[in-house]
A and B are shown apart, each in its own frame.
Chain A
Amino acid sequence: MTADGGPELVQLLTPEGERVHHPDYDVELTPDQLRGLYRDLVLVRRVDAEATALQRQGELGLWAQCVGQEAAQVGSGRALAPGDFAFPTYREHGVAWSRGVQPLQLLGLFRGVTNGGWDPHEHNMALYTIVIGDQTLHAVGYAMGMQRDGDDSAVICYFGDGASSQGDVNEAFVFSAVYNAPVVFFCQNNQWAISEPLERQTRIPLYRRADGFGFPGVRVDGNDVLAVLAVTQAALAAAREGQGPTLIEAFTYRMGAHTTSDDPTRYRVAADLEAWKLKDPIERLKVYLARNGWAGHEWFAEIEAEAEALAVDLRRGCREMPEPEKTSMFDHVYAEPHALVDEERAQFEAYHASFVGGGH
């Protein structure tokens, strides 16, 4: 079912780098802004590639690649206003980038030094959520809170095509609809939930699910950063204006494995990947920039160099990441003192102190 997305697909930049227009959605961007988006896409891809390499070198326990999905993530992430709040799953490295979460902060979870990694309130971005679909309800609750506080910001919530099957996601749709919550559901349909193709989750295009819950759904070319930006901006504006939720289905493709533990050759055909490579989100923007004379060799080379420097930093930072203190597992289990945790911490400390030289 990795077709072309159908006539309903909102697109502003074709895979060949042609600018096209859409009756309902558009964005006017300066060459500077376009270059900014290109830079984001390239740097996010470099972070992803570097993290994948670090996993192969044993520096990370796992990595969930976002290669191929950069436009969906950067386009939607850049559509957010500073006061908006994002609820991600575990693959939203491009969204994190746009929210100012440092790539190294993402690595902590995958290296196994933390179960979190950043301050959600500092970045207006919740922590990664591993259990599929859970965060969609949190997003709706947060949006209901904004509503009650008279805050005219909005919430964006990310999940996958597989997640659309979960009860929680469907309950999130119900709550957001009946309370008219200012939330944008952003489903990255990358065609796969580990080994299961889209057909294992749905018979109809996902964006049409919204219909049954009573709010609009739209399918956007997830590899077209301009279209994603335009559609997300419109949905966020509607949410802010009190029109309630929108479901955006970003039609894209998972170019990598599900995670570094996965072997996609067991379940998917190579031809699909080749077809999707032709729709690469970075290439089409590059062609568009070059063709209009908004960027040349020198500028592209500068971005490449910046990406390389970022990768070097990431490598070093990852290797130098401090090991967590042993007793840190007892920290913050509760917000207030708890006798059992205190007792077990003391036992733990006494036990470790009992080894001669403390070398245990």
Chain B
Amino acid sequence: MAVTTMAKAINAGLRKALENDPKVLLMGEDIGKLGGVFRVTDGLQKDFGEARVIDSPLAESGIVGTAVGLAMRGFRPVVEIQFDGFVFPAFDQIVTQVAKHNARSAGRTPMPITIRIPYGGGIGAVEHHSESPEAYFAHTAGLRVISPSNPADAFAMVQQAIACDDPVVFFEPKRRYWDKADVDESLDLATAPSPFRARVVRPGTSVTVVCYGPMVRTCLEAASAAAAEGIELEVVDLRSMSPLDVDTVAASVRRTGRLVVVHEAPVFLGVGAELAARITETCFYSLEAPVLRVGGYHTPYPPARLEEDYLPDLDRVLDAVDRSLAF
């Protein structure tokens, strides 16, 4: 066990993957000498060479499109998109090619590609550097979409994503890169929990709060604050948006009777909307209140000076909890 940051935990996970499988290779802009703009790939090119840790031309469609060919050739490419807002030049390759290859080839050309994307706001960046585009990808069949919320999960999940025979869009909550926690580097992946299952990270009885990625810490803080007022929130870290582990959420909602879904991404047509519909279908008779959602607005991500008002914070989570309890 060592205390480390999420960025370093992902670095360690990538290192393990490179060590364990010669077919794993990393590709992206500035990931070599610089170690990535967030230093997530720091030192990997030095240790594994330029053929396995590839500084790519500045072309996202090129990065993902060549990963398709590499995957067909038996490699397991892990590509880095530098920031959330820059994935769109590669969107075509991801949703029309990467996502569909397995189905089109009747399983003959799976796409074991991991697409790492630092995402979300809260770091005071300029536009296109703070977005949460996960719903676009979760909407596309053939892709798996996951996001860790803490260093230990990040370490395990990045390796699990790479080991997965399906393409995995791996969203890294960039404002949590510097959060520290214990990470067990001797973890046995074979026995580690699946990255595609949700986890109850704080048990409670009053209201179920479902969140993922950057919002998990926020919701845990909200739970601590609520506990001081005698409200026990059950916080569920979704971890995976596709597949969506409705069972874990439903089991929790059956205990608490209430559900608030929290994400940074816009509420409209988001992951929360899907959960609200599913939980209403499966837990209708257990619900004491309508499913409520907290998230981003139907606006472009605002300039940095407004992001505190845009991003869900502890108060907005607690406000939704109060509204749920008021029913």
Contact = CB atoms under 8 A, between A and B. Distances in A.
A201 B56 CA distance: 8
Interface string A145-175: 0000000000000000011011110000000
A134 B316 CA distance: 36
A156 to B, nearest CB: 21
A130 B62 contact: no
Nearest to A339: B298
Contacts of B59: 165-167
Point out which of B30, B34, B86, B126 has the most chain A C-beta atoms below 10 A from its C-beta: B126
Interface stretch (A213-221, A284-292, A340-348): A340-348
Nearest to B297: A344
A167 B88 CA distance: 12
Contacts, number: 118
Interface in A191-224: 193-196, 200-201
Contacts of B305: 111-113, 323-324
Nearest to B35: A266
A333 B297 CA distance: 11
B127 A329 contact: no
A195 B34 contact: yes
Contact of B33 (A195, A323, A324): A195
B299 A61 contact: no
Contacts of A110: 126
Given A61-B126, A193-B58, A196-B30, A333 B304 contact: no
A114 B268 CA distance: 24
Interface string A99-119: 000000000011111110000
Contacts of B126: 61-62, 109-110, 112, 130
Contact of A115 (B55, B61, B127): B127
Please classify the interface of chain B as helix (H, G, I), strand (E, B), loop, or mixed, using the class held by over half of its residues: loop
Given A196-B29, A196-B55, A328-B306, A132 B268 contact: no
Interface size bracket, A side: 35 or more
Interface in B277-299: 297-299
Interface size bracket, B side: 35 or more
B74 interface: no
A130 B89 CA distance: 13
A195 B36 CA distance: 9
B89 A61 contact: no
Given A165-B62, A195-B30, A200-B57, A132 B310 contact: no
Given A261-B37, A267-B33, A351-B316, A340 B268 contact: yes
Point out which of A266, A329, A351 has the most chain B C-beta atoms below 10 A from its C-beta: A329
Given A194-B37, A196-B55, A266-B33, A112 B89 contact: no
Interface string B20-53: 0000000001101111010000000000000000
Given A194-B37, A354-B319, 12 more contacts: A111-B305, A112-B307, A113-B303, A115-B302, A131-B86, A131-B88, A194-B30, A266-B34, A323-B305, A324-B302, A341-B299, A344-B297
28 contacts: A61-B124, A61-B125, A62-B125, A111-B305, A113-B303, A130-B126, A130-B128, A130-B129, A131-B89, A131-B128, A162-B57, A163-B58, A165-B57, A165-B59, A167-B61, A195-B34, A196-B57, A201-B57, A261-B37, A266-B33, A324-B305, A324-B306, A329-B297, A329-B302, A333-B298, A333-B300, A344-B299, A351-B319
Interface of A: 61-62, 109-115, 130-133, 162-163, 165-168, 193-196, 200-201, 261-262, 266-267, 323-324, 326, 328-330, 333, 338, 340-341, 344, 348, 351, 354, 360
Interface of B: 29-30, 32-35, 37, 55-59, 61-62, 85-86, 88-89, 124-129, 268, 297-300, 302-307, 309-310, 315-316, 319
Ranked nearest first, the 10 interchain pairs of A and B with the lowest CB-CB distance are A112-B304, A195-B34, A165-B57, A162-B58, A329-B302, A165-B59, A267-B33, A61-B124, A195-B30, A112-B305
